[in-house]
Amino acid sequence: MIIRKSAAEIEKMTRAGRVVHGCLQMLAAAVRPGVSTAELDRMAEDYIRSHGAVPTFKGYRGFPSSICASPNDMIVHGIPGETVLDEGDILSIDVGVTLEDYVGDSAITVPVGEVSEEAFALMAATRESLGRAIEQCREGNRVGDISHAVQAYVEERGYSVVRSLVGHGIGRDMHEDPQVPNFGAPGKGPRLVAGMVLAIEPMVNAGRYEVEMGDDGWAVYTRDGTLSAHFEHTVAVTSNGPRVLTEA
């Protein structure tokens, strides 16, 4: 069941989204060679709680941390740890925040120091595919229009979109209906109506789309060991077009 949100609920989600955005900005500025992902996690939890919010991920199905930190060939769901970042790594950071009972969810992939041209191009293409997807978040379109926008942009550049993980509706719960795949045919799937709020999150692999689970039961890696990037925004469908809730 797709739960549509009132204007007042979307305002609450905007406040949660601002905390997510501020947290990601703070983390992006802190990422550098020598920093551990556990340090980033502590900074994020302090930031979120100091804004009167709760880190949604902590305790979610037993997840132990406030952020997901997924370097290089890890696609998503990395548990922060004592391993330090190296020059040339890329790091996907995913943040979820609950404020006034509503959730905001957003992710970015950032370079650690100087990165290869290939890594930079992958991040840029993934971010752009999210922008194209957001453009499709309009009344009367369908979820498949979002999915297709990501897939078409990404595959034209020789990358692949992960199939086994998808975006989602979001509201009081982090994961609501509908699922929002990053692949699919335009004109298919649920019709978009004002009040729907979607977390759109392309996960793009430099190589093939197949994934492999890590030993901790959380981390998801590219099976072929190639780099992966991840960008996500929480977006409301409104009568005035798409409204991104997880930015300034």
Binding site residues, Mg ion, CB under 5 A: 94, 105, 107, 199, 201, 232
Nearer to Mg ion, 154 or 203 (CB): 203
Give the nearest distance from C-beta 33 to Mg ion in angstroms: 25
Nearer to Mg ion, 107 or 229 (CB): 107
Give the nearest distance from C-beta 34 to Mg ion in angstroms: 26
Nearest Cα neighbor of 136 from 182, 176, 174 is 182
Which residues, 6+ apart, have CB-to-CB distance to 61 below 8 Å?
none
Nearer to Mg ion, 107 or 122 (CB): 107
Give the nearest distance from C-beta 170 to Mg ion in angstroms: 7
Give me 145's structure tokens.
């229009």
Q: How far is CA 159 from CA 31, 102, 114, 131, 184, in A?
A: 25, 34, 22, 17, 15
Give the nearest distance from C-beta 22 to Mg ion in angstroms: 16
Give the nearest distance from C-beta 87 to Mg ion in angstroms: 26
DSSP assignments along 50-110, one per residue: HTT-EETTTTGGG--SSEEEEETTEEE-PPP-SPBP-TT-EEEEEEEEEETTEEEEEEEEE
Nearer to Mg ion, 114 or 123 (CB): 123
Give the nearest distance from C-beta 44 to Mg ion in angstroms: 13
Contact assessment for residue 7 and residue 30, using Cβ atoms and an 8 Å cutoff: no
Nearer to Mg ion, 158 or 213 (CB): 213
Nearer to Mg ion, 58 or 157 (CB): 58
**Other CB atoms closer than 10 Å to residue 145's CB: what's the count?**
22
Contact assessment for residue 147 and residue 129, using Cβ atoms and an 8 Å cutoff: no
